[in-house]
């Protein structure tokens, strides 16, 4: 039986009548200074001519006497047997305590730090020590009693549950007496000693110590450290990329055990502690990290996986990891919601993802086309991810057109579609505007004179070119805003210049491009005289100077694209429109001309046509013809405004105003130019219509102020 003991006591008794004794104790270390196990000591008395191999601790030799000696008297210190060693995470150790007393049992790392320790009273007897080490490492099991100290080297090759010692009492210690009777000894005899140890590489012998033995002492014998072959050391990587049938794992071979690692990989099973006899991969050889692809798994199943590494000693395993495969992935399930809020260019739809098909829904929305069975290759929205209901805004539609729409949901299996629904957009001209952008409804602006308003505020960019009323071509493009509630605001108007390529919609008075360019009031170096058509402040934007009117001089790209089709209201026309004309009765209010409102989130002024009927299902407006009424008296969504617009209403947004490059009161007030000059302030002013939270009226302002323009047709 192998003894992994680190010290031995040899009692040498002189063969004299005085029976004077010399006690020699032994310990062994490797040449690197670490404690080393040994099994026997060869003792040779060169003076007396005898030698003896002592198997420790089975025998205690008394030299020079035929008497016997109690083992308990000769061997007082604790004795240890470790088996197995090396071990994988956990081992059992037998401890022999020869006499009652306090004891310390500890596990010490190679650097000297203590990872687990027991301190307490142990009576004489034999104990079982269950030792667990949390990490692969070389450690020492140290036992200290008042009689002595013993240290055993332990090699752990795998991960255990914890650094821990459990001690249990096995049996009573019984002293032994063994007969001895070998050669004589006298103090001063020339003695030599060496120790033996059996390892996987065979029997190893320590150095030999030779000396004249005159006193009791501790003799240290040294073993030359050899590269013994052990199992490899390997760790298991985390499991990732788990699907219904595959996963990714791997490991790291951190030590080859002094022998070539010929195979490595991972093994897995539906039971604990899988081995290479179960399903496994083979991922190269040698030390280092590796990645393993686990395939052929069953869906929705829990597996246990360990990395392994094999050398000539055998196969070592890393820690066990657990993972569960997903259920098989299928297409999601999605339904299509009804279509609502239909206008000439927009609609609202949506859907509900009721099942994700066992995979994350990464995209969802609706898709539409003028043909059956639209897909995501057609126009579509993207409205979040995951399961549940969602709402989609469909835009960019053509008027009076039939569309087909379906909800969709996408996961790793592909894209699923809901049921197909059909809807038809409104006719844009119905109750709204004709093909040239002029309102179908009419508005009286003077006795016997009616006009039609343009579809939106006037906008300009320096890009492109357009025809002019004098038969020429000018730089830039003019257009009407897409919706009545649209305006540019401060985001781009403050960039006004001859080189700015964005859109602007706040203009100085008479800046049609005929005598004064749209960007002329970009700074204070171009001042008031630029805004005198024909060189006189008394001239209006009419008659001989009508080309100074934006709508007269320029072709509007989405307003018929022909010069001379539009014009600007005069001061008197604005006043008549808002305060004098005869109009319909709304909710008991005769001659309902205007009301403040918030349309699609934009504050502004609603102007009712001469003949107006409230759309069915809509609430009657309040604050009619009341200049001090708040904007939020009347609030309309985009869909609701579509109905009001279809009934002929005009909306002027509160687009603010500009003083050179500074834009103010955006969303709080509206200022709209007239074509009429003002005689006040030495010709610096012109008339405009304005409104804010407290009033609606007509006043005169500096001509270089940037204000909104809403054109009309006679």
3-class secondary structure for 195-253? EEEEECCEEEECCCEEEECCCCEEEEEEECCCCCCCCCEEEECCCECCCCCCEEEEEEE
Q: Work out the angle at residue 146's Cα, subtended by the Cα atoms of residues 141 and 151, and round it to the nearest 5 degrees.
A: 20
- The predicted structure's pLDDT at residue 529: 54
Distance CA 222, CA 28 (A): 6
Identify the burial level of 100 via C-beta atoms within 10 angstroms of its C-beta, where 0-12 means exposed, 13-18 middle and 19 or more buried.
middle
Helix count (H) and strand count (E) of the chain? 5, 49
409: tokens are: 């949901």
Residue 575 phi/psi, 5-degree rounding, is -65, -40
Instruction: Tell which residue, 593, 559, 617, has the closest CA to residue 696.
Output: 593
Q: Give the model's pLDDT for residue 113.
A: 81
Q: What is the 3-state secondary structure (H, E, C) of 86-131?
A: CECCEEEEEEEECCCEEEEEEEEECCCCEEEEEEEEECCEEEEEEE
pLDDT at 62 over 50: no
pLDDT confidence of 161, banded at 50, 70, 90?
Answer: confident
pLDDT on residue 79 = 66
Q: Is the pLDDT of residue 554 over 90?
A: yes
Residue 203: how many CB atoms within 10 A of its CB?
10
Position 68 pLDDT exceeds 60: no
Q: What number of residues does the chain have?
A: 714
Q: Which DSSP helix (H) or strand (E) runs through 640?
A: helix 638-646
SS3 510: coil
CA distances from 515 to 505, 540, 613, 685 (A): 19, 13, 43, 17
CB atoms within 10 A of CB 355: 15
Distance CA 443, CA 451 (A): 5
pLDDT per position as a tens digit, 257-273: 888 999 999 999 999 99
Q: What is the mean pLDDT of residues 120-124?
A: 82
Classified as helix, coil or strand, 690 is strand
* Strand-strand pairing, 190-199 and 209-212: antiparallel
Q: How far apart are CA 88 and CA 131, in angstroms?
A: 11
pLDDT higher for 699 or 157? 699
Q: 10 Å Cβ neighbour count for 335?
A: 15
Residue 29 has pLDDT above 90, yes or no: no
From the list 28, 146, 170, the residue with the least C-alpha distance to 96 is: 170
> Within a 13 Å sphere around the CA of 277, how many CA atoms are in the beta-carbon half?
2
pLDDT averaged over every residue in the chain: 86
Dist. CA 128–CA 138, nearest whole Å: 21
Residue of 79, 76, 50, 58 lying closest to 178 (CA atoms): 58
Q: What's the first-to-final CA gap in the chain, in angstroms?
A: 120
Average pLDDT in the 304-320 region?
A: 95
Across 47-56, 60-69, 519-528, 704-713, least confident range: 60-69
Distance from chain centroid for Cα 11: 73
Give pLDDT, residue 6: 37
Q: Is the pLDDT of residue 351 over 70?
A: yes
Cα–Cα distance, 464 to 477 (Å, whole number): 6
Query: pLDDT > 90: what percent of the chain?
Result: 57
| Higher pLDDT pick, 462 / 110 | 462
Environment class of residue 557 by beta-carbon count within 10 Å: exposed (0-12), middle (13-18) or buried (19+)? middle
Q: Give 78's pLDDT tier (boundaries 50, 70, 90).
A: low
How far apart (Å, rounded) are the C-alpha atoms in residues 505 and 642?
23
pLDDT for the residue 1: 31
DSSP 8-state secondary structure symbol assigned to residue 572: H
């Amino acid at each position: 039986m192998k003894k992994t003991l680190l010290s031995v006591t040899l009692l040498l008794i002189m063969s004299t009548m005085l029976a004077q004794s010399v006690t020699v104790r032994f310990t062994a270390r490797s040449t690197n200074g670490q404690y080393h196990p040994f099994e026997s000591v060869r003792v040779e008395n060169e003076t007396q001519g005898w030698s003896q191999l002592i198997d420790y601790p089975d025998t205690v030799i008394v030299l020079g006497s035929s008497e016997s000696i109690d083992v308990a008297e000769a061997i007082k210190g604790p004795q240890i047997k470790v088996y197995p060693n090396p071990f994988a995470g956990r081992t059992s150790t037998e401890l022999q305590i020869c006499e009652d007393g306090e004891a310390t049992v500890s596990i010490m790392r190679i650097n000297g730090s203590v990872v687990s320790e027991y301190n307490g009273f142990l009576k004489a007897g034999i104990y079982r020590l269950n030792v667990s080490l949390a990490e692969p490492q070389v450690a020492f099991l140290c036992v200290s009693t008042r009689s002595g100290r013993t240290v055993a080297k332990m090699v752990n090759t795998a991960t255990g549950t914890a650094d821990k010692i459990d001690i249990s009492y096995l049996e009573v210690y019984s002293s032994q007496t063994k007969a001895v009777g070998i050669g004589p000894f006298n103090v001063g005899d020339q003695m030599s000693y060496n120790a033996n140890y059996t390892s996987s590489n065979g029997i190893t012998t320590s150095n030999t110590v030779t000396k004249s033995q005159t006193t009791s002492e501790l003799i240290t014998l040294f073993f030359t450290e050899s590269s013994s072959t052990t199992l490899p050391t390997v760790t298991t990587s985390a499991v990732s990329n788990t699907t219904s049938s595959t996963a990714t794992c791997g490991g790291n071979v951190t030590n080859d055990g002094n022998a070539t690692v010929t195979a490595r990989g991972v093994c897995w099973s539906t039971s604990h502690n899988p081995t290479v006899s179960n399903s496994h991969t083979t991922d190269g050889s040698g030390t280092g990290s590796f990645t393993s692809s686990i395939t052929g798994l069953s869906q929705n199943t829990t597996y246990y996986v360990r990395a392994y590494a094999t050398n000539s000693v055998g196969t070592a395993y890393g820690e066990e990891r657990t993972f569960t495969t997903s259920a098989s992935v299928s297409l999601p399930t999605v339904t299509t919601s009804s279509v609502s809020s239909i206008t000439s260019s927009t609609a609202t739809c949506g859907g509900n993802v009721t099942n994700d098909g066992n995979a994350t829904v990464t995209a969802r929305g609706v898709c539409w086309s003028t043909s059956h069975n639209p897909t995501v290759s057609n126009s579509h929205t993207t409205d979040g991810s995951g399961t549940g209901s969602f709402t989609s805004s469909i835009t960019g539609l053509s008027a009076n057109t039939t569309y087909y729409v379906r909800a969709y949901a996408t996961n790793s299996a592909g894209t699923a579609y809901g049921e197909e629904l059909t809807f038809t957009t409104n006719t844009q001209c119905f109750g709204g505007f004709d093909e040239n952008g002029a309102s179908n409804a009419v508005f009286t602006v003077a006795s016997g004179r009616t006009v039609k308003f343009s579809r939106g505020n006037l906008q300009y960019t320096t890009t492109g070119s357009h025809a002019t009323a004098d038969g020429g071509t000018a730089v830039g493009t003019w257009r009407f805003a897409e919706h009545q509630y649209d305006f540019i605001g401060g985001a781009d108007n403050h960039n006004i210049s001859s080189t700015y390529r964005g859109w602007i919609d706040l203009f100085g008075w008479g800046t049609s491009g005929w005598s004064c360019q749209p960007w002329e009031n970009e700074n204070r170096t171009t001042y008031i005289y630029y805004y005198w058509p024909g060189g006189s402040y008394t001239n209006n934007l009419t008659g001989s100077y009508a080309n100074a009117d934006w709508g007269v001089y320029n072709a509007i790209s989405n307003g018929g694209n022909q010069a001379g089709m539009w014009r600007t209201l005069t001061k008197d026309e604005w006043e008549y429109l808002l305060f004098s004309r005869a109009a319909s009765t709304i909710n008991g209010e005769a001659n309902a001309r205007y009301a403040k409102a918030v349309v699609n989130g934009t504050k502004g002024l609603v102007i009712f046509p001469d003949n107006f009927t409230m759309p069915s299902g809509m609430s009657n407006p309040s604050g009619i013809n009341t200049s001090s009424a708040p904007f939020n008296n009347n609030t309309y969504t985009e869909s609701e405004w579509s109905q009001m617009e279809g009934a002929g209403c005009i909306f002027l947004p509160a687009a603010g105003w500009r003083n050179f490059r500074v834009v103010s009161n955006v969303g709080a007030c509206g200022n709209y130019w007239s074509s009429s000059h003002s005689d006040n302030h030495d010709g610096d002013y012109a008339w405009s219509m304005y409104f804010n939270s407290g009033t609606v009226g007509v006043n005169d302002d500096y001509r270089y102020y940037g204000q909104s323009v809403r054109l009309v047709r006679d």
